Amino acid sequence: MSVDSPPVRRLADWNHDRLVSLAETHGTPLYVLDPERVRENYRRIAAAFPDAHVMYAAKAHTGRAVLSALTAAGVDIECAARGELQRAIDAGADPDSLQYTAVNPPAADLEYAADLASDHPGLTITAGAVDTFDRLAALGYDGRVAMRVNPGIGTGHHEDVATGKDAKFGIPAERVAAVADDLRGRFDLVGVHAHIGSGVLRGDLEDHCRAIARVADLAREAGAEDLEFVDVGGGFGVPYREDEPPLDIAAVGERVRAAVGDLPARLALEPGRFVVADAELILTRVNTVKKAASTVVGVDASLATLVRPAMFGSYHPVRNVSAPDRETAPVSVGGPCCTSADVFCTDRSVARPQRGDLLAIGMAGAYGYELASQFHSQPRPAEVAVDGETDRVVRRRETLEDVTRVERTN
């Protein structure tokens, strides 16, 4: 597909017969990934920012199938941890093209990045604390760095992702100029970086652009004429709810460029959620239907499969793949974990599920498998990539032996 493909992929847009076949072949719960949709979404946002350096924020989904699809298309990767750096390289990324954004980095992470940069001097290390830069200097590192700044403004779908106003992230605004001067004496300062928040939709866009304008001003205070780039992060949202309109990403590009204004440094962005959210779903099988105060539908997926509803109160669409045209009824869908938090939806109108039906949980590509766990000693699910008419297992289903493999018995 081209950049003219639909701006958001809904559950109804997936081939239901194909999903049924996948569940029968590979079992449930099952993550189903469409790598071509990943590429489409990247092309769409890159087209909206034709003069910018658009990377992919690996933390949204570090699966090899995602990273390989993007690196093969020439996309650079932004990494937030040592493991992400290694996984990007394993997927084909050029280490000289990587950007490592350190947030309170463990010693092993910082040492790994500094050592990697000694052989690949194009790698850029971004940090948001003078203490981190001091640790880099103590390691003998004097290469490319970017300074993460805190604009004091945060936006996004939840307060826990409004990073632009969180003191954990970035150099305080009033210290930016002085810290920039200090860094130029010790490193090759090539950029200023900020991440404002995550899941930004139309209602958040004004604040988001106001924060970006503040980041541009801080870059000027840091001496933008001597910088290669000003990185304003990602954060562009995807409408998880069916009645939410998608961002007009071309218009967003115009607004962001206006907010940045005239800067000698190149604009850089690092979308994650926008690229992968609607490119993956979860298939889960109904095992219990119980009439109580409301109809409770039990499935074999759980918060160990997808934790976002429990962690953030996030909305994920749910669709009955087996019988999408059956009459609807308000149902609550939950998994097998022994906690009230293990619920995907409450009193949601869904084509009335019956035991054995296959349900799909949508918008699972961003921070879905990334946050999957082995809670209740549940093996993590398989992941299948569908490319055209073919499908392949890109992550096998864990076994109970996998769950206990790292334990010692004596």
- For position 293, what pLDDT does the model report? 80
Reported confidence tier of residue 156, pLDDT bands at 50, 70, 90: very low
Mean pLDDT of 93-99: 98
Q: Give the C-alpha separation, 76 to 98, whole Å.
A: 6
Which region among 68-72, 136-140, 153-157 has the lowest average model confidence (pLDDT)? Answer: 153-157
State the DSSP code for 202: G
What are the backbone dihedrals phi and psi of residue 393, each rounded to the nearest 5 degrees, phi first?
-75, 115
Which region among 1-15, 221-235, 254-268 has the lowest average model confidence (pLDDT)? Answer: 1-15
Query: Does the structural domain 35-275 have CATH classification 3.20.20.10?
Result: yes
- For position 5, what pLDDT does the model report? 75
Crossing angle, helix 64-72 and helix 35-48, to 10 degrees?
Answer: 50
What radius of gyration, in Å, describes the C-alpha atoms of the chain?
A: 22
Q: How would you classify the pairing of strands 390-395 and 53-54?
A: unpaired
Between residues 6 and 79, which one has the greater pLDDT?
79
Strand, helix or coil at 35? helix
**What would the pLDDT profile of 295-308 be if each residue is shown by its tens digit?**
999 999 999 999 99
List, by residue range, all CATH 3.20.20.10 domains of the chain.
35-275
- CATH value of 278-404 in 3.40.50.2000, 2.40.37.10, 2.40.50.500, 3.30.70.20: 2.40.37.10
Please check the confidence at residue 133 and state whether its pLDDT lies above 80. yes
Between residues 158 and 28, which one has the greater pLDDT?
28
Mean pLDDT of 100-113: 96
> Containing H/E element for 330?
strand 328-334
- For position 166, what pLDDT does the model report? 60
List, by residue range, all CATH 2.40.37.10 domains of the chain.
278-404
Q: Report, as residue numbers or ranges, the catalytic residues.
A: 338
Q: pTM for the whole thing?
A: 0.93
Please check the confidence at residue 329 and state whether its pLDDT lies above 80. yes
